């Protein structure tokens, strides 16, 4: 008995001793601690699709173009570019001093290699459509032509030519996306699809991947071969995976994180008081909306009903009372702050509450419903505290203003997504859309017929033709007019119920320098610095 107990204790202490000295990356120098909400699913830039993967990839790599801390396009891998008259040929001059983390120079061929891999069907890249406007891209993704026929060419080591199917004014924004970063061909050839691991990943950005403990932390280290390494203030960045908002907040308060990825939804006023300037809230390129299933009753062919439901929602109250973190009530589809665009606003945005509600009631009647014959509808949303709050509020508003009897159905995200795609059981469903690049097109294209992200299944000929015409415009002003008209046409149809525009919210410690609020919520670690702490 005694000996067994001692044995057990001994074994345990042995374990402790072994693991106490386990290989967690030793921090040396100035290291920034950031929180991310989940592990990147992969660091293969072609197979990644989550925001957290993109954030880490932006620290590891660099594309032709980048963003400044305040969201302006700046040269990165390319020093400059020329656009042809017809807007369909871009010539990029690459930076001669650009290097990979193993010292190899970055050449145009590396970009070509990466672009081809992006559109290769076998890669199954989610963001293959980043290059959708490049000549032959669509055909390559569908497998109709080999990827070698993609309209990109390395004229020489430092000159890259990109040929487009149509003028694409927002092409440069697209080229900031990690899926368009170059790849080191020898590395991919040698390691195949597992080239993106610590120790084998060769990156051309400000940092290299030193270690990755899945579920825990990604450790990045300064890339000494980076062409702009002299300007990089940080020696390392640790991205800590923290799933729960509350836990992240605790770690921030305990001094373990310099930057959080988000802020818990409750008690926002308290947080403002407690943290003051450390709390950074900025408009974000994303919209939270309720979609209507346009393929089935009751919303099929019933624009009055849709409009009534839309008007019955008090968006101001939602944004201020329920969310209260600076979210903007949404009366349009495209968020404010998108470059070179003025979103159309729905007609009832300026009405007083009473006027709006009485108009809603009239439309409701016209749609064939009343107190005696109320609309019974299901509102689906995926599990989250915020979603629950909003759904409960909207349910309550519909009931009070119109007498609508809404049932709330809470589903796990994968389930909801499957239901939305099938469009069989859904009636009203919660969804959201985040812009991939800073142009109205990233939002308006969603509602084109045939787009997989078109959850309401909106299909309108006038909308389509306006979008087509916008796509063929070279002149930015003409294009903008067509896009704005398209949005107006779509909003008048009420295929969805915009609720609010997202804001990005972070806690940032005062000693972090170089943080810029921008509408894309990109915060490259290479722009950040840490001043001496206490």
Partner 1 sequence: MLRYTLLRVLGAIPTLLLVIALAFLMVHAAPGGPFDDERVLPADVEANIAHAYHLDEPLPKQFVRYLSGLLQGDLGPSYRYRDYTVSELIGNSFPLSLQLGALAMALAVVVGVSAGTVAALRQDSYLDRLVMACSMTGISVPVFVFAPVLVLLFAVKLQWLPAGWSSASGGARLVLPVITLALPQVAYIARLTRASMIDVLGRDFIRTARAQGLGTLTVVRLHALKPAMLPVLSYMGPAVAAILTGSVVVEEIFGIPGLGQFFVRGALNRDYTLVLGIVVFYATLIVLLNLVVDILYGVIDPRVRYR
Partner 2 sequence: MKNRAITVSGTILLTIAVVALVGPWLSPHDYVSTDFDRVLLAPTIADAHLFGTDELGRDLFVRTMLGIRVTLLVALVASFVSLVIGVAYGAIAGFVGGRVDAVMMRFVDTLYALPFIFFVILLMVAFERNFLLIFVAIGAVNWLDMARIVRGQTLSLREREFVEAARLTGVRNRRIIFRHIAPNLIGIVVVYVTLTIPQAILVESFLSFLGLGIQEPQTSLGALVDAGVNLMEGASWALLFPAGLLALILMCFNFFGDGLRDFFDARQAN
Bridge partner list, 75: 65
Q: By rule CB under 8 A, what string of x and - marks binding of each residue 315-344 to partner 2?
A: --x---xx----------------------
Q: By rule CB under 8 A, what string of x and - marks binding of each residue 211-230 to partner 1?
A: -xxxxxx-------------
Q: What DSSP designation does 288 have?
A: E
Unique residue bearing structure tokens 């020489």: 156
Q: Strand 376-382 to strand 405-411: parallel, antiparallel, or no bridges (unpaired)?
A: parallel
* 71-75, Cβ contacts within 8 angstroms, sequence gap of 24 or more: 71/438, 71/516, 71/518, 71/519, 71/520, 71/522, 73/172, 73/173, 73/176
Binding partner of 126, given partner 1, partner 2, none, CB within 5-8 angstroms per partner class: partner 1
Binding of partner 1 by 476 (CB under 8 A): no
Binding partner of 389, given partner 1, partner 2, none, CB within 5-8 angstroms per partner class: partner 2
Bridge partner list, 434: 286
Interacting residues with partner 2 between 265 and 284 (CB under 8 A): 266-267, 270
Q: Which of 68, 84, 194, 407 binds partner 1 (CB under 8 A)?
A: 194
Residue 496: what are its φ and ψ, rounded to 5°?
-150, 170
Closer to partner 2 by CB, 89 or 410: give it. 410
Binding of partner 2 by 389 (CB under 8 A): yes
Q: By rule CB under 8 A, what string of x and - marks binding of each residue 356-395 to partner 1?
A: ----------------------------------------
Q: At what angle do helices 303-311 and 353-366 cross, to 10 degrees?
A: 150
Given the rule CB under 8 A, which of 95-103, 276-284, 354-362, 392-400 is the region that contacts partner 2?
392-400
The enclosing H or E element of 316 equals helix 315-317
Q: What is the CA radius of gyration of the chain?
A: 25
The two three-digit tokens of residue 354, written as one number: 């009473």
The 10 Å CB-count burial string (b at 16+, else e) for 356-392 is bbebbbebbeebebeeeebbebebbbbeeebbebbbe
In which region does residue 525 sit, left (phi positive, over 0), alpha (psi from -120 to 50) or beta (all else)? Answer: alpha
Q: Which of 250, 262, 384, 395 binds partner 1 (CB under 8 A)?
A: 250
CA angle, 122 then 128 then 134, to 5°: 115
Binding-site size for partner 2 (CB under 8 A) equals 20
Interacting residues with partner 2 between 415 and 444 (CB under 8 A): 415
Binding of partner 1 by 12 (CB under 8 A): yes
Binding of partner 1 by 425 (CB under 8 A): no
Binding of partner 1 by 243 (CB under 8 A): yes
Please report, as ranges, the residues that interact with partner 1 according to CB under 8 A. 1, 4, 8-9, 11-12, 15-16, 19-22, 24, 33, 39, 41-44, 47, 49-50, 121-122, 124-126, 128-129, 141-143, 194, 196-197, 212-217, 238, 240-244, 246-247, 250-251, 253-257, 412-415, 417-418, 421, 432, 434, 452-453, 455
Given the rule CB under 8 A, which residues bind partner 2? 246, 264, 266-267, 270, 317, 321-322, 383, 385, 388-389, 392-393, 396, 408, 410-412, 415
């Amino acid at each position: 008995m005694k000996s067994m107990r001692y044995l057990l204790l001994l074994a345990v202490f042995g374990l402790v001793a072994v693991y106490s000295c386990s290989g967690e990356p030793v921090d040396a120098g100035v290291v920034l601690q950031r929180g991310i909400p989940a592990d990147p699913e992969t660091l293969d830039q072609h197979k990644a699709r989550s925001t957290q993967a993109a954030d880490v990839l932006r620290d590891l790599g660099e594309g032709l173009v980048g963003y400044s801390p305040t969201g302006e396009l700046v040269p990165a891998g390319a020093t400059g570019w020329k656009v042809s008259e017809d807007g369909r040929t871009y010539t990029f001059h690459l930076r001669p001093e650009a290097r990979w983390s193993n010292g190899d120079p970055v050449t145009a061929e590396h970009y070509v290699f990466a672009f081809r891999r992006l559109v290769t069907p076998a890669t199954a890249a989610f963001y293959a459509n980043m290059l959708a406007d490049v000549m032959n891209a669509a055909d390559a993704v569908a497998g109709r032509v080999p990827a070698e026929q993609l309209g990109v060419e390395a004229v020489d080591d430092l000159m890259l030519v990109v040929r487009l199917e149509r003028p694409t004014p927002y092409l440069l924004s697209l080229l900031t996306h990690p899926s368009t970063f170059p790849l080191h061909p020898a590395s991919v050839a040698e390691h195949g699809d597992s080239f993106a691991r610590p120790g084998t990943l060769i990156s051309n950005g400000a940092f290299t991947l030193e270690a990755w403990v899945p579920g825990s932390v990604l450790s990045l280290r300064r890339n000494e071969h980076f062409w702009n390494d002299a300007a990089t203030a940080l020696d390392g960045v640790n991205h800590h995976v923290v799933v729960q908002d509350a836990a992240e907040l605790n770690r921030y308060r305990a001094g373990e994180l310099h930057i959080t990825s988000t802020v818990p939804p409750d008690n926002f006023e308290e947080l403002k008081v407690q943290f003051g300037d450390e709390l950074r809230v900025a408009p974000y390129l994303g919209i939270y909306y309720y979609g209507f299933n346009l393929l089935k009753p009751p919303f099929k062919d019933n624009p009055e009903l849709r409009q009534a439901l839309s008007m019955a929602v008090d968006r101001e109250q939602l944004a201020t009372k329920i969310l209260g973190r600076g979210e903007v009530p949404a009366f349009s589809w495209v968020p404010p702050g998108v470059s070179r665009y003025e979103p159309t606003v729905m007609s009832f945005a300026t009405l007083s509450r009473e006027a709006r509600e009485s108009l809603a009631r009239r439309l409701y009647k016209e749609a064939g419903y009343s107190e005696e014959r109320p609309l019974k509808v299901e509102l689906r949303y995926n599990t989250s505290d915020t979603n629950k709050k909003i759904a409960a509020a909207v349910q309550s508003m519909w009931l009070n203003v119109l007498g609508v009897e809404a049932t709330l159905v809470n589903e796990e995200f994968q389930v909801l997504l499957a239901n939305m795609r099938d469009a069989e059981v859904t009636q009203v469903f919660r969804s959201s859309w985040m812009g991939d690049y800073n142009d109205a097109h990233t939002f308006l294209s969603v509602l084109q017929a045939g787009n997989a992200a078109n959850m309401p299944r909106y299909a309108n000929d006038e909308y389509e033709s306006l979008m087509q015409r916008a796509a063929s415009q070279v002149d930015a002003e003409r294009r903008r007019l067509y896009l704005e008209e398209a949005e107006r046409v779509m909003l008048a149809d009420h295929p969805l119920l915009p609720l609010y525009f997202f804001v990005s919210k972070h806690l940032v410690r005062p000693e972090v320098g170089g943080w810029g609020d921008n509408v894309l919520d990109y915060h490259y670690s290479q722009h950040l610095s840490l001043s001496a702490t206490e």
